[in-house]
Structure 1
Amino acid sequence: MTTSELIERINKLIDVVDKAINKREFYPPRLTKYETARIIGARALQLAMGAQPLVDIQEVGSVDPVLIAMEELRRGLLDFIIVREMPDGKTMRIRLKELLELERTL
């Protein structure tokens, strides 16, 4: 990774943190246990219906869709969008990858 790429990545991360914490655009700045359960359940259903896993099943050591979905989430491979409803009635759409990236920095 070059210096300019690193600086660009840091600036992007600063923007995400600024939105999440200072402006409180999405709070909490992490996945809630309910969102985690919903994501794992939705992905496990996709896998059970025949979707291709994003991880090697042999690495997971099981063909259980829930365990595979948990591993995909842990590795940050899922491309979901979290929809949060705010108290004022507005809805917020947050990319799962952005939320996981922010969670790792805190």
Structure 2
Amino acid sequence: MSDNEDNVSIASVDDNDSINEEEEEEDSVLESINIEDDVDAEDLDYEEVDLEALEEQVQTKKGNPQNSNVHHTDEEDIDNLSVDSTSSDISSDEDDDDEDDEYVKRFEKLDKQMKEEHVINYHPTSLQENYQEISTLSLVVRNDKGEIIDPLHKTIPIMTKYEKARMLGQRAKQINNGASIFVQPKQETFDGYLIALQELEEKKMPFIIRRPLPNGHSEYWKATDLEYLHEIAY
């Protein structure tokens, strides 16, 4: 009987242990299920929070046109930058044009000065003065004896053959072209050269001779103030 009781007790103990183990397994399964449910709930809550945040952001974007203003301001800034760049380019081009104009003006001024200096230094005879100055400079001052005491007339008061040839040729051309004469012609044939010779003989030739000097200045002599030593042949 004792052995049977022991077997029954052992069997009951084993049954109790198995029952306890099954209960523990059920409890662990329930706990794991609860944990998974909690995790899933948390995930769902987290996802719901994200969706709500996104919805709020979309609503704020729709309700507040700040971003559009930002885009507009960005476009305006770009336009302003483009306008500023174009204006700066235009101003730089204008500055370049002004500098070029100034350079051209300075170059023209320098070129003009160089030409004037070159003409004065190397070609003084090409410079012409007005008639009043020439007529004043051609006046010869003499003393009581007829001697020239004028500081502006230092050369000899004698007409050279070159001056004679130049005056006769120029005067004959003028007369042949219809210029008025200052003498009564002696010859029956009106020849311009013969009339010019007669004007030279009678000291009525309306010419002023210019004599260049080595220092760059010139003397002005009236043809009537110069003596001609050679014979005048008609």
TM-score by length of 1: 0.68
Matched, 1:47 2:175: yes
Q: 8 Å contact 2:157–2:225 — kept in the other structure?
A: no
Note the aligned Cα RMSD (angstroms): 2.6
Matched, 1:30 2:158: yes
Gaps of 5+ in 2: 1-141, 230-234
1:89 alignment partner in structure 2? 216
Change in CA separation of 1:25 and 1:53 when aligned onto 2, cut-off 3 Å: closer
Counterpart-to-counterpart distance in 2, 1:10 and 1:63: 40
Q: 8 Å contact 1:44–1:68 — kept in the other structure?
A: yes
The structural deviation recorded for 1:51 is: 1.1
Percent of counterpart pairs with the same letter?
A: 33
The structural deviation recorded for 1:97 is: 1.4
Q: Which amino acid aligns with 1:67?
A: L
Q: 8 Å contact 1:54–1:77 — kept in the other structure?
A: yes
TM-score by length of 2: 0.33
* Structure 1 residue ranges, 4+ long, deviating more than 3 angstroms after superposition: 23-26
The structural deviation recorded for 1:27 is: 2.2
More helix, by proportion:
2
Counterpart-to-counterpart distance in 2, 1:28 and 1:61: 37
Larger radius of gyration: 2
Change in CA separation of 1:95 and 1:12 when aligned onto 2, cut-off 3 Å: farther
Residue 62 of structure 1, aligned match among 189, 209, 228: 189
Using CA pairs below 8 Å that are at least 6 residues apart, which structure has the higher relative contact order? 1
Q: How many residues are aligned here?
A: 88
Counterpart-to-counterpart distance in 2, 1:54 and 1:74: 12
Matched, 1:13 2:146: yes
Counterpart-to-counterpart distance in 2, 1:45 and 1:61: 19
The structural deviation recorded for 1:60 is: 3.0
